[in-house]
Structure 1
């Protein structure tokens, strides 16, 4: 009888451990990635313009790359990137964007190579670690890799070269943030979802937060 009671207690404890949601890991293990949506053409002053509500054909027809498209820089007042960095994560002010990208948990450094590409194609650029290995677009690589390599330092090396060495050393790699929280605005939310549902997903995303995603009927789903 005592053994049966003990077995039941153990079984209840195991079931509770499975049913209760697990807390997230320490933020030091994460890159918080800002995934922007589609951007429109530039005006006469060179500023990026958003699309008119419902004018999704503008995004389909646009061809030029807008490398500056982001969700606001780290130092832009009243923008979501700075708000997350300072008000949510309580990070210090580092003075300029290049200092933030090496120190902040928030990664918001560059746009997709084609900011109006399809969500599935941009999902490949977001997370497929074989994307652009041959350097066909400068030295750009999948965004999840860039979020790591901008912070990678080994001896006198930085960036991609340092990351390649760190990846070969489990002790060093464990010290580099390797999991992701994706915060996607508009089409960026769809891109984030396409990544985790794609056949190249690396199992490295713990949270996806979408801000004003487009209606599903627009995506043909």
Structure 2
């Protein structure tokens, strides 16, 4: 079992915040944010994205930044789903891709959720923030497509990064070649470090 997975599983199983039972679907939606927020408060550490995403959002992402976004999510969570359980919008098909979309369509969503009174959206972003978000989002999607292409070359390597025994040697060699290709194309030392330290398919320590 990988070290990071084992520690994450251990923390999740001993964590009680927001685990229910829930009175209704809206309380459940809220509990997701509560659980994530409390987990981040207790265990959150600065994180650096793996390559190639670390070239889009550079440097460490602090737990405080993530917690701020979770607080924004919690402030909007009571309005994401309608009150009535029989409402068609409570079927597991409604998806809000991000807070920017939720804020942009706030009035429409509030109306769909059965709110007859005018409710001011509790989250606001200025124009510069929105423009920066969409710039990052476009590049992030491109990096994700590249990452999924690499996964396809590596025997459809999953998120857990486990490799089938019969294809292990082949996957290791392809991974080595992919990494070397990007290291060879590095424009400077910083680019090389970005690849070397944060290559997404690194070896991981195993624990019992």
TM-score (norm 1): 0.26
Larger strand proportion of the pair: 1
TM-score (norm 2): 0.27
Larger helix proportion of the pair: 2
| Structure of higher RCO (CA pairs closer than 8 Å, 6+ residues apart) | 2
